[in-house]
Structure 1
Amino acid sequence: MKKLLLTLLTLPTLWLSATAQTLPTADEVINKYIAAIGGKDALMKVKDLTSVGTMVYNNSSIQITLKRKAPAKSLTLLTGDNGQLFYKNVIDGTNVVDITQQGTTRQNEQAARLSLMYNRLFPELVFNEQGIKSTVVGKEQIDGQDAYKVTNTFADGTPLWTSYYDVITGLKVQHVIKWDQNRTATLKSSNYKEVNGVKIPHNSTYQENDGVVSMSKVNSVQINTGVSDTEFAVQ
């Protein structure tokens, strides 16, 4: 009887230990993702990337142009069929501005820090360099598939975003980012296609809070075309 009681008492501990051992480390998850999209060597060769696609929002079609240049420059442009500007975001590597029909707004230090990481070519490549701390907190199902949930914070503990990586493929399928106190966005990525040895997601959905879900499709991707620094000039 005594042996039976001891066995029963140790079962919860053994179960918890076994459960914990089934989860990989954050480094293992992130390294698998980097390998899945082409590997570190291939990603490091990407100096700039330009993609053009369309987004459907509230039954309206919007053209999206994204330009990224290492190490931390970016341009995001949303325009209508007639070239009408809806939104423009420019990052010169240090400063971040948002441009709409209402005018130009320079992001504050906290918002800019988040934007600078979010709009890099491959943020996970510089997590260690930037002091980002990542933790695997469990598994969740994303669109019916198991994914590792990884929380990421800046070195000072400020939240960066939460990423979800497919357990089987290693690909990043979702991340959730809190832009500010009132805006939390969920971005889902799918349909990865290889371009110059690097896998780029060609379909995505974006939703802020419980608002309208926008669906985007990439029509073309160009890598290392020599994008000029003038594209990222912040006025």
Structure 2
Amino acid sequence: MKKLSLLLKTIVVSLTFFSAQAQNVDDVVNKYIETIGGKEKLEAIKSVKMEMIANYQGMEIPVEVCTAKDGKMLVKINLMGKEMTQVAFDGTSGWSTNMMTMKAEKMNSEDIENMKNTASNDFPDPFLNYKSKGYKAEYIAKETKEGTECHKIKLTKLPQTINGEKVDDVSFYYFDVENNVIVLTETEIKEGQMKGQMASSTAGNYQEVEGVYFPFTISQYGQEMTVKKITLNPTIDPKALEFKAE
């Protein structure tokens, strides 16, 4: 009976722990969604256009990023007065400019599949209705990052295909405990020379745009970007997404 009693206590403690963990995740995510504008306003967004300046090795490069609920994406840069498309995806197919040859190249089947899994699901935020997307969120712990106390949450998205193999798409998000916004994201690099290492991106200087808060200061792969303007619900020109072979 003592062994049975001990077993029952262990089960109760375990269930309590997992219940508390789930509650922590929901509390953090719900506060975050509410802080940046609320579920209703986020769900009403159909597209977003961000006009930014990227600081790369002392150069200021204008960058324009358009994303949409239906999975469309358009990323353009202006390099020394020449505008070029870095990413163009219409929801089913896409292309990009090879920065070595400066030629337009169609995305391969793996890139297209991965884009389909993330482009629409992550819009306008991966945590919005994350469960219905098939995503899984886990509360890890409280951690201090650059002097800021944060909730660390692991988000597992739909698997990606890398070199013919399905791999977990996992990122770690750090939510500012005091302000309830994401300040840091860590994602494992899946291929190339940096494979296995963690890529970090930071977000700050949140500002309101039509009742929704966006970060206006972003750092990715050591590249600082300053958002100059955000437009909600712009129309993405279908012709801009068409493949342009030169």
State TM-score, norm by structure 1: 0.78
* Aligned residue number for residue 63 of structure 1: 62
Check 1:23–1:116 CA distance in 2 against 1; reply closer, same or farther (3 A cut): closer
* Aligned residue number for residue 30 of structure 1: 29
The 8 Å contact of residues 164 and 172 in structure 1, kept in 2 or not, is answered as: yes
The 8 Å contact of residues 51 and 62 in structure 2, kept in 1 or not, is answered as: yes
Quick one: distance in 2 between partners of 1:112 and 1:164? 24
Superposed counterparts of 1:166-181, under 5 Å: 166-181=176-191
> Are residue 217 (structure 1) and residue 229 (structure 2) matched?
no
Quick one: distance in 2 between partners of 1:114 and 1:190? 27
Describe the SS at the equivalent of 1:123. Answer: coil
Task: Give the CA RMSD over aligned residues.
Answer: 2.8
Check 1:72–1:84 CA distance in 2 against 1; reply closer, same or farther (3 A cut): closer
State TM-score, norm by structure 2: 0.75
Check 1:151–1:94 CA distance in 2 against 1; reply closer, same or farther (3 A cut): farther
Quick one: distance in 2 between partners of 1:230 and 1:45? 25
Quick one: distance in 1 between partners of 2:97 and 2:219? 22
Quick one: distance in 2 between partners of 1:33 and 1:220? 22
Describe the SS at the equivalent of 1:30. Answer: helix
Check 1:83–1:151 CA distance in 2 against 1; reply closer, same or farther (3 A cut): same
Quick one: distance in 2 between partners of 1:189 and 1:129? 26
Quick one: distance in 2 between partners of 1:24 and 1:62? 43
Check 1:233–1:29 CA distance in 2 against 1; reply closer, same or farther (3 A cut): farther
Structure 2 portions without partners, runs of 5+: 1-12, 160-166
Count the aligned residue pairs.
213
Quick one: distance in 1 between partners of 2:90 and 2:202? 26
* Aligned residue number for residue 170 of structure 2: 160
Select which of 217, 220, 236 maps to 1:227.
236
Check 1:120–1:98 CA distance in 2 against 1; reply closer, same or farther (3 A cut): farther
* Aligned residue number for residue 112 of structure 1: 115
Cα deviation, 1:111-159, whole Å, max 9, x if unaligned, reads 4356526863222224222200110111222221111111111356712
Select which of 81, 89, 92 maps to 2:90.
92
Quick one: distance in 1 between partners of 2:62 and 2:107? 23
Quick one: distance in 2 between partners of 1:114 and 1:62? 29
Quick one: distance in 2 between partners of 1:62 and 1:118? 28
Check 1:22–1:90 CA distance in 2 against 1; reply closer, same or farther (3 A cut): same
Structure 1 portions without partners, runs of 5+: 1-13, 208-212
Check 1:57–1:115 CA distance in 2 against 1; reply closer, same or farther (3 A cut): farther
Q: Which amino acid aligns with 1:188?
A: T
Q: Which amino acid aligns with 1:154?
A: K
Q: Which amino acid aligns with 1:99?
A: T
Quick one: distance in 2 between partners of 1:132 and 1:234? 32
Q: Which amino acid aligns with 2:131?
A: N
Describe the SS at the equivalent of 2:115. Answer: helix
* 1:84 Cα offset (Å): 4.6
Quick one: distance in 1 between partners of 2:142 and 2:94? 34
> Are residue 198 (structure 1) and residue 212 (structure 2) matched?
yes
Quick one: distance in 1 between partners of 2:30 and 2:70? 20
* 1:204 Cα offset (Å): 0.9
The 8 Å contact of residues 76 and 83 in structure 2, kept in 1 or not, is answered as: no
